[in-house]
Structure 1
Amino acid sequence: MSAVQTLKLDARQRAMLDEMGVKVWWPMPEVVEAAAVPAVEAKAVVAEPLAAERPTAVAPAPALAARPAPAPLSHGAAVLVDAPRRLYAEAGAAPVQGGWLVVADMPPEADGRHGEPFAGDAGKLLDNMLRALKLHDGSTPVHLMRTHRGVAAGQPGSPRPMAEAFQAQAAALAPALVLAMGPLAAQSLMQSVDPLGRLRGRAVPLASIEGVAVVATYHPAYLLRNPADKARAWADLCLAAEQQTTPN
């Protein structure tokens, strides 16, 4: 018998070999009792799948209208300034012309109001900087204008857009020089998008108030985080003091 010839064993022969301990490893014979499926019907089954198995067409979802992302307030809002406030003077003292006009980046608190200018560590540092220039004795007028971004309320005494308010308010004070503290104040007054590091260290005349010089320097809050730049800030203050003229 050929080695590859398949043994044709019926069930009785397989049972006898099993009783003798002979294991048969040839494949089991096909069950002849099962009714063969006609080829025509099998073809029909393949050609006609069940309805549940048929892929259903999915209608495309309607396109949603693109909504533009809201612009951050720091980029889209106008630059605002508060009315100037005289420092180192008695409460209710009238503004005096001449001296220093300090324009500093000071955003309002969460409730929309401003605190005292010398509140907190940044305010104390600002006070120390002005005292180092001997501006605290009141002999030289010092006014502070706070600038920040936001939306003008249009109410009396509320912040106004810097583009329309600064010239009139600064002209009324007629300062001898303007000190811009912080990137927002410096860029707005110098009409530049350069970083503060490139704007500081020089005096730039302002056409809006008859050529009065503006000197840019770091904000006290920045100096608290970067004390290594305090020497540069002091050099800026000395440069500003050189631009000062005798008060009117």
Structure 2
Amino acid sequence: MKRFVRDNGLSLFFFAIFLLALLGQSVAGLLRTNQELAEHGRPLETYWSFVFSSDFVVDVAENWQSEFLQFLLFIAATVWLVQRGSPESKKPGDEGVDSDENQKVGAYAPANGPRWARVTGWRRTVYENSLVLVMGAIFFMSWLVQSLSGVVVMNEENAQHGEPAITWAQYIVSPEFWDRTLQNWQSEFLAVGSMVAFSIFLRQRGSSESKPVGLPHAVSAQESE
């Protein structure tokens, strides 16, 4: 167990704080919702009714889809785009999908490597793009859940104000939907761009996301090897 925790500490740490943050969001959201309901003399919601409500689901999915879009675009962009001096980038001149030898696929795959890296055809194509494919699938599913939950929330608000309900197709082209969506996208893109740029000049000793402290700004960790 100790070895498992040590070998998987990074993912376990973030999964744990994710669950704590999600729990905190659900509790805070319930308290806020019940405060608003009490002010209007309406029945209060239970914890589980709130967690499965469209209000909570749309807020969660809205953040998930922007996060996975961020990583989807970053992973794909770093295949072809570089940033000199950043540890988040390949060195200039290494743009592209790289050779089979360097990627250790096909005839160059080690005997203990992933099986789909040793084969040819569609299976290897899927495997060598599996990270982008999975990130893209999670982004799309989160976006779909956000939009479906969002139209329910909007129609509930419309009903309260005596306005007609709208369809899903109308909602996804509405200012309401894109205002909520782009608020998250712009912050995620800024965060990734800042990480790429700041890591050229700033350091964190011992972090795999930072260059060695004494490495010149214009030199990436890959170029120093």
TM-score, L = length of structure 1: 0.20
TM-score w.r.t. length of structure 2: 0.22
Q: Which has the larger helix fraction? A: 2
Q: Which has the larger radius of gyration?
A: 1
Q: Which structure has more strand as a fraction of its residues?
A: 1
Instruction: Work out which structure has the larger RCO, using CA pairs closer than 8 Å and 6 or more positions apart in sequence.
Output: 2
